[in-house]
């Protein structure tokens, strides 16, 4: 476990990514940082809102030329599923789990879920991590604690 909530654990993965994402001049810094265990996304210089996935326009106010902002890796699991019927490129990995994560900073994203526990509880506390394959990284998440007890 890494100490800083801004620093992602790097999990070395065997082989290459089944369906690698494309990188652009704009998104390359995101993927490079992810490969180094840092999560960042575009942040509007005009209205200060974050966007995810990162993009060169603010989806809220349409201001251009955003900056980059680091993201806290901690959040909770909004929902998840395990995919058994997979596209050809992913057939060897099936079944695999994916989930929707709500980060503490108010950003919702969807990524691969590292498969422990086998049936995570909706609402569980999760941390994002970098899944680093031979050809580059993907974003992942792992359950670190069961859902917090509801307030009495």
Partner 1 sequence: MARKVALIGTAAIPVGRHQSAEDEPLQVLEAEILSRLAALALADAGVEKSDIGSMVFSLPRPYTRQKYFATFMANYLRVSCSGTVMEVLGNGMTGGFAFDMAANDILLGRAKVALALGINMESATASGEHMMSSMRATGDVDFHSSAGFTPIAWYAMDAMRYMHEFGATRAELASIAVKNRAHAEHNPMAQYRKPITLEQVLAQRPIVEPLGLYEVPPRGDGAACLVLADEDTARALGRPYALVSGRGFHHEGAHQISEVPNDMIAFESARRAAATAYAEAGVSAADLDFAEIYAPCTIVEALVTEAIGLVPRGQGAAAAAAGETRLGGRIPVCTSGGLLSRGHPAYVTPLYGYIEAAEQLRGRAGARQVPGARLGAVTCELGNYNAALVHVLEAR
Q: What does the binding site for partner 1 look like in residue numbers (CB under 8 A)?
A: 17-22, 27, 50-53, 78-91, 93, 95-96, 98-100, 102, 106-112, 121-123, 138-139
Alpha carbons 137 and 11: distance in angstroms, whole number? 9
Minimal distance in Å, beta carbon 26 to partner 1? 12
Alpha carbons 54 and 31: distance in angstroms, whole number? 10
Minimal distance in Å, beta carbon 36 to partner 1? 18
Minimal distance in Å, beta carbon 144 to partner 1? 19
Residue closer to partner 1, measured from CB, 3 or 14: 14
What is the CA 65 to chain-centroid distance, rounded? Answer: 23
Structure tokens at 100: 């929707």
Alpha carbons 55 and 70: distance in angstroms, whole number? 15
Residue closer to partner 1, measured from CB, 122 or 144: 122
């Amino acid at each position: 476990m890494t100490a800083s909530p801004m620093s992602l654990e790097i999990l070395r993965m065997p082989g290459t990514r089944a369906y690698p994402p494309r990188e652009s001049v704009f998104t390359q810094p995101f993927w490079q940082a992810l490969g180094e265990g840092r999560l960042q996304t575009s942040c509007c210089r005009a209205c200060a809102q974050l966007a995810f996935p990162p993009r060169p326009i603010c989806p809220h106010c349409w201001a251009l030329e955003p900056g980059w902002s680091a993201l806290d890796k901690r959040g909770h699991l909004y929902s998840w599923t395990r995919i058994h019927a997979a596209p050809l490129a992913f057939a060897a990995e099936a079944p695999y789990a994916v989930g929707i994560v709500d980060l503490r900073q108010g950003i919702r994203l969807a990524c691969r879920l590292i498969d422990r526990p086998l049936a995570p509880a909706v609402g569980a506390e999760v941390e994002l991590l970098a899944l680093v394959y031979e050809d580059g990284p993907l974003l992942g998440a792992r359950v670190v604690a069961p859902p917090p007890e509801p307030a009495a």
